[in-house]
Amino acid sequence: MKEWLKHSRGSLYALTNLAALIAMLIGWSTSPAPGSLLVYVVLLFALCSMPLLWLEQINGRYALLAIFMGVYFLLFGAVDLRDLITGATPMIDRGDSFTLAQIGVLLGGATLVGGYRLAAELSSPKSAASGAADWPTAWILVTGVGFFVTGTGAMAYLNLVAITENSIRATEHGFAAMGPLLTFAVMLGQMVQPLGVVILAYGFARARTFSWALLIAAVVLAQMVLGFLTDTKGTILLPLVLVAVTVSMRQGRISKGWIVGVVLFATLLFPVLQANRVVRNEHGWNRAQAIENIATVVEEAFEARDKIYQTRAGERSQTFLERTSGDAVLETLFNRVTESGSYLNGATVTPLVYAFIPRLILPQKVDVPLGQLFNRTFMHGSKDDFLYLSVSILGELYWNFGWTGVLLGNFLVGCLLGLTGVKTDLSKTPTLTRMLILLLTIKLVVLGYGDSISMAFVTWMRCLAAIGLMHAFFARPSQAQEPSDSGSTAMGAAAPVTAAGVRFPNLMR
């Protein structure tokens, strides 16, 4: 795989872009989409597929960049690509010229790629890394199950008992009722839950036994049930993505079975979950009431899923691409912020300073719900409106610092990801610690790029600290190999080997 990529990645990049261009030109010939949209998608696709030029192995130092740019295209170009290929009317009317948001997407992506490549080349070791410490299987099982069960219980308690409906009033009342100590415990539990999933996914990828397969299947099923009950699609998608990426990264080749699982979720289960939310809203049920009427919810959700396939003229739920797209919010944000000049000047970045100070110690810690702030500021939402519109880290950087934020901010994000990609290079020596850091970076920073800086990086930094402590406690260095018969001394006895592999004479002879 490595040799094939080395010799074919340039041709693969060219052929991939050529195929996409031909498909877009055919669809665009019958589409009302302006030429500027075609040029934008062509440029963005070329930019996001650029990691193919440097990818040596799918678990190498540029694997993180490849995954990130795939998510980046999903956020800002996938819907437009679909509309161009199918010849459909674009979801957003942007006019006949490039918009500020489109320019921001292209410049932000380019500087991020540049930052990643610079950091990766400067921080790559000159020689191959030696063996690294890894966790024993027993600790992987105990720690993974403990974290997953504890974290899942905390998520269930928070969403099904403490806060049963999506409203600011209910959220504030739920946290007030729990008190600072219980709130800290619940939030800590939610933080370790993804760690548990990753640890168990690594154990499955390393052992590949039937018992581990049953365990990981139980984890995925439990997440699906919890996600349906709490009406959170990310809870269901999370274990599928983590297991698919973990197995692929551990083996150095794509795990087709788990990738198929992610695709099936996007195409089959996602409409059901969208319909599930519609059914709950139609009945006016909160989460607790929905559980009491779970049979009705399940039945009506499956019946309503067919709305996803209706034409745009009819009422239907959003598709997976439309739901994950950040185009509409980004267009509004760039236009409104530019017109009003109301920049935040770093106000939403301050939570990074207090990342390691729990609210139990600093209850007055500032927490800016950026998605709700955007809704109230630019979408005329009321103060009691819970609606959270994700602006993406790209949008947040522009809202805070303008074009300086887009260019410098994304460059720094790229440098950080590049350094992480090198340090978690699994093509040399796969270990649980490296896998934990890599997958949590994908989950919190890469997939979290569509949300906000504080939500992505604050949790990421806390998890890195926790991983460092766990590595120091659980990881064990690889055992030195026993000397062979040819390594016997001239006196007829094998020379003992120290931890460093240095022989010393048998002084007892």
> Both tokens of residue 330?
């980004």
Q: DSSP state, 500?
A: T
Residue 396 corresponds to which amino acid?
Answer: E
Q: What are 78's strand-pairing partners? A: none
Q: What are 476's strand-pairing partners? A: 134
Phi (first) and psi of residue 80, to 5 degrees: -65, -40
Q: Which of 117-121's residues contact partners 24+ apart within 8 Å by CB, and which partners?
A: 117/54, 117/65, 117/414, 117/418, 118/414, 118/415, 118/418, 119/414, 119/415, 119/416, 119/417, 119/418, 119/419, 119/422, 120/61, 120/62, 120/65, 120/418, 120/419, 120/421, 120/422
Residue 345 corresponds to which amino acid?
Answer: N
What's the rounded Cα separation, in Å, for the pair 147 and 196? 5
- Give me the residue label for tokens 């409106």: 385
Q: 478 near 134, Cβ under 8 Å?
A: yes
Closest CA to 225 of 217, 235, 216: 235
Look at residue 375 in the predicted model and tell me its pLDDT: 79
Phi (first) and psi of residue 507, to 5 degrees: -80, -10
CA angle 8–424–49, rounded 5-degree value: 35
Q: DSSP state, 124?
A: S
Q: What are 497's strand-pairing partners? A: 503
- Torsion of Cα atoms, 266 then 271 then 272 then 278, to 10°: 140
Average pLDDT along the chain, 509 residues, taken 10 residues at a time: 66 94 93 92 97 89 95 94 91 88 97 97 74 85 93 86 70 78 83 86 89 91 82 74 83 77 69 66 64 65 54 53 86 92 86 69 66 78 60 94 96 97 90 90 90 87 88 76 37 39 38
Look at residue 211 in the predicted model and tell me its pLDDT: 93
Look at residue 279 in the predicted model and tell me its pLDDT: 66
Q: Where are the alpha helices (DSSP H) in 255-324?
A: 256-264, 270-283, 287-292, 294-304, 320-324
Distances in Å between the alpha carbon of 165 and those of 161, 188, 215, 422, 437?
10, 21, 32, 42, 33
Look at residue 108 in the predicted model and tell me its pLDDT: 97
**CB atoms near residue 393 (< 10 Å):** 27
What's the rounded Cα separation, in Å, for the pair 41 and 73? 9
What's the rounded Cα separation, in Å, for the pair 248 and 60? 11
Look at residue 27 in the predicted model and tell me its pLDDT: 92
